[in-house]
Amino acid sequence: MQAYQDMVFSTAARLLANEAQAQDIAQDVFLKAYENFEQLRTSTTKGGWLKTVTTNLSLNHLSRYRRRWRFFSEFRRDEATEEESQLDVAVADSALDGIAEEERQLLLEQALRRLPEHQRVPLVLYHFEELSYEDIARQLRISLAKVRTDILRARVSLARLLARTQLSDAHSRPSPS
């Protein structure tokens, strides 16, 4: 369990953006693993099994709350075009330069948590869980086009959040003179 608990917890925490819920999910995952102990003990793919179960349980947890809002979320105004136009990729690219590694990791985790769920979940599935666009569409039961759009918007939002954080950080630092 010790070898996999960080991986299981990370997957759940990044998908749910909530530590308490991620702990509950991680506990359920290991209880399921215990139920399938005989099968997993000799398996060479137990890491993959644990990751898949974590992802599925997290998505099930989210869908319980998401179902009632999904219909209305389709009415949301399309604000991404405006966001995209304000994004300078070069600035975003250098957003994390010159920041200590630990701080950079913390900033990224914080920025991830601040993304809205419909952007964060497909982004995490694509970049962290390495699922394809098609698999994400199947898992989330949304169209391929929506997956692509949501992930693009998530990247834009993430880059903007990071750029903004760096900007505010630069303002708060004392000037060298």
Partner 1 sequence: MKLTTEDQARLEQLVGRACREQPALAAPRTLQARVFAALQQRAARPWWRRSFAYWPMAPRVVLVLACAGVARAMLEVTAWFNTNLGAVQLPVPVSRSLSWVQSARSLISLLDSTAGDVGATLLHRIPPLWLYGGIIGMLALYALLVGLGAAAYRTLHAPR
Per-residue interface string for the shown chain with partner 1, residues 69-88, x marking contact by CB under 8 A: x--xx-xxx---x--xx-x-
In contact, 43 and 15? CB cutoff 8 Å = no
Residue-by-residue DSSP string for 49-102:
HHHHHHHHHHHHHHHHHHHHHHHHHTTS---HHHHHHH--HHHHHTTTTTS-HH
Looking at the Cβ atoms of 53 and 159, the one nearer to partner 1 is 159
The size of the interface with partner 1 (CB under 8 A), counted in residues, is 44
State both tokens at 150: 């949501």
For the four alpha carbons of 45, 50, 52 and 53, in that order, the dihedral sign comes to positive
> Which of 46-54, 59-67, 108-116, 132-140 is the region at the interface with partner 1 (rule: CB under 8 A)?
108-116
State both tokens at 176: 């060298």
Q: Is 125 in the site for partner 1 (CB under 8 A)?
A: no
Residues near partner 1, by CB under 8 A? 1-2, 5-10, 13-14, 19, 23, 26-27, 30-31, 34, 69, 72-73, 75-77, 81, 84-85, 87, 89, 92-93, 96, 105, 108-109, 116-117, 123, 127-128, 152, 155-156, 158-159
